[in-house]
């Protein structure tokens, strides 16, 4: 039994409560990881708002968890398959996550890290792994013209770097001038107004991270037989398509991309560990989780908010 400081979501859309909870013994085949850094994913914000109808508070969020096991640096792959043919359990949703000092996880989900840069992994790995999956299932590769929306957020700013590594010609849409500057520094062609579809010429792919606020413009910027990959929908509102005829006339393809495999997660760790992806984040102590949330929602963070216990 250990006492564990945790940020507990007791009611959707309300501030987290910082509490000390007792954690029982570790289950057989599981390990207890001492958390060093946890990223605050856009997905956590969706959970916080009550966007996943299957989840009920109290909840301890956080699936971007990096820390120590027996003194070694590790990450936890956040999808747990408890038995075959079953939907995986997600860390920080179905099971207590990383907004805490310790997290329990099945041994098979624990991946060794090449370095102790916990905060960098917490900032970048989920975004990079997400984009590795996107590129793999959609076929994005060398020389494709790809637009990424929500480019200044955690998935966007780390994901665009992976697309550039593949040799894609990357465009990013951001609303924020500070994010635009950073993206330009990364070699991204930045579009910063919502009429971007008039300015950039036709795209082969759009990686739609923002969702509702941009999807109609994203569709308009696709070429004939272009592909829209739906990754996120930040406001959680229904997606309303203004001109469905465009789908038909341009023979657009729409695909969804859900999470990433453990191999994609390992590859993202390697890229971050090798310094091939630059991590962008702002660090907060676990006690300051509510301040981190308001900073994210008010657009004050480029990349990720990262919690440290
Ligand atoms: N499918 C998957 O595998 C997967 C994995 C991770 C996350 N997600 C989803 O992807 C989405 C983003 O995640 P994230 O971690 O990148 O979140 P994040 O770090 O909070 O960034 C979201 C970005 O979306 C843009 N945005 C927010 N509100 C907007 C608005 N009203 N209009 C236009 N753009 C807006 C902003 O970009 P700018 O500031 O640059 O304008 C913001 O930085 C979430 O819906 C999350 O659930 C999906
Ligand atoms: Zn994530």
Query: Alpha-carbon Rg of the chain, whole angstroms?
Result: 19
Residue 162 sits in the same domain as residue 105: no
Which pLDDT score is estimated for 134? Answer: 98
Which pLDDT score is estimated for 197? Answer: 81
For the entire predicted model, the pTM comes to 0.97
Q: How far apart are CA 126 and CA 147, in angstroms?
A: 19
Which pLDDT score is estimated for 47? Answer: 96
Residue 248 sits in the same domain as residue 154: yes
Structure tokens at 78: 């956040």
Ligand 1 center to 178 CA (angstroms): 16
Query: 152 in ligand 1 pocket by Cβ < 6 Å?
Result: yes
Q: Angle of helix 118-138 relative to helix 262-273, nearest 10 degrees?
A: 130
Residue 287 sits in the same domain as residue 194: no
Question: Can you give the CATH number for the domain in which 82 is found?
Answer: 3.90.180.10
Comparing C-alpha atoms, which of 183, 229, 186 is closest to residue 208?
A: 229
Give domain status of residue 286, yes or no. yes
Residue 82 sits in the same domain as residue 139: no
pLDDT in tens, the chain (309 residues): 899 999 999 999 999 999 999 999 999 999 999 999 999 999 999 999 999 999 999 999 999 999 999 999 999 999 987 666 677 899 999 999 999 999 999 999 999 999 999 999 999 999 999 999 999 999 999 999 999 999 999 999 999 999 999 999 999 999 999 999 999 999 999 998 888 888 888 999 999 999 999 999 999 999 999 999 999 999 989 999 999 999 999 999 999 999 999 999 999 999 999 999 999 999 999 999 999 999 999 999 999 999 999
Residue 95 sits in the same domain as residue 132: no
Number of domains in the chain: 2
Residue-number span of the structural domain to which 218 is assigned: 127-256
Residue 218 sits in the same domain as residue 293: no
Question: Can you give the CATH number for the domain in which 148 is found?
Answer: 3.40.50.720
Residue 218 sits in the same domain as residue 301: no
Give domain status of residue 267, yes or no. no
Query: In a mutational test of the pocket of ligand 1, which residue from 40, 128, 155 has the highest number of ligand atoms less than 8 Å from its CB?
Result: 155
Residue 112 sits in the same domain as residue 31: yes
Query: In a mutational test of the pocket of ligand 1, which residue from 38, 39, 40, 41 has the highest number of ligand atoms less than 8 Å from its CB?
Result: 41
Residue 134 sits in the same domain as residue 169: yes
| Cβ pair 271, 162 in contact under 8 A | yes
């Amino acid at each position: 039994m250990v006492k564990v400081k945790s940020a507990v979501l007791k009611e959707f859309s309300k501030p987290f409560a910082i509490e000390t909870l007792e954690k029982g013994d570790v289950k057989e085949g599981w390990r207890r990881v001492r958390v060093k850094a946890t990223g605050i994913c856009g997905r956590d914000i969706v959970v916080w708002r009550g966007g996943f109808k299957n989840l009920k508070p109290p909840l301890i969020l956080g699936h971007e968890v990096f820390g120590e096991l027996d003194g070694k640096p590790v990450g936890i792959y956040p999808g747990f398959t408890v038995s075959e043919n079953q939907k995986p359990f997600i860390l920080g949703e179905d099971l207590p996550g990383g907004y805490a000092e310790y997290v329990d996880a099945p041994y098979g989900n624990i991946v060794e890290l090449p370095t102790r840069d916990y905060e960098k992994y917490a900032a970048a790995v989920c975004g990079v792994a997400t984009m590795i999956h996107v590129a793999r299932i959609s076929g994005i590769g060398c020389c494709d013209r790809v637009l990424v929306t929500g480019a200044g957020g955690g998935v966007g700013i780390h994901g665009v770097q992976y697309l550039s590594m593949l040799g894609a010609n990357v465009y990013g849409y951001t609303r924020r001038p500070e994010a635009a500057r950073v993206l330009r520094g990364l070699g991204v062609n930045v579009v910063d107004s919502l009429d971007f579809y008039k300015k950039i010429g036709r795209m082969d792919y759009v990686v739609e991270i923002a969702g509702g606020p941009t999807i109609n413009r994203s569709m308009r910027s696709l070429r004939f037989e272009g592909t829209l990959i739906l990754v996120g929908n930040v406001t959680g509102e229904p997606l309303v398509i203004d001109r469905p005829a465009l789908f038909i006339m341009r023979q657009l393809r729409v695909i969804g991309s859900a999470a990433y495999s453990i191999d994609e997660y390992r590859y993202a760790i390697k890229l971050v560990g090798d310094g091939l992806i630059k991590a962008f984040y702002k660090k907060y102590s676990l006690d300051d989780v509510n301040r981190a949330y308001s900073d994210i929602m008010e657009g004050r963070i480029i990349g990720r908010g990262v919690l440290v216990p």
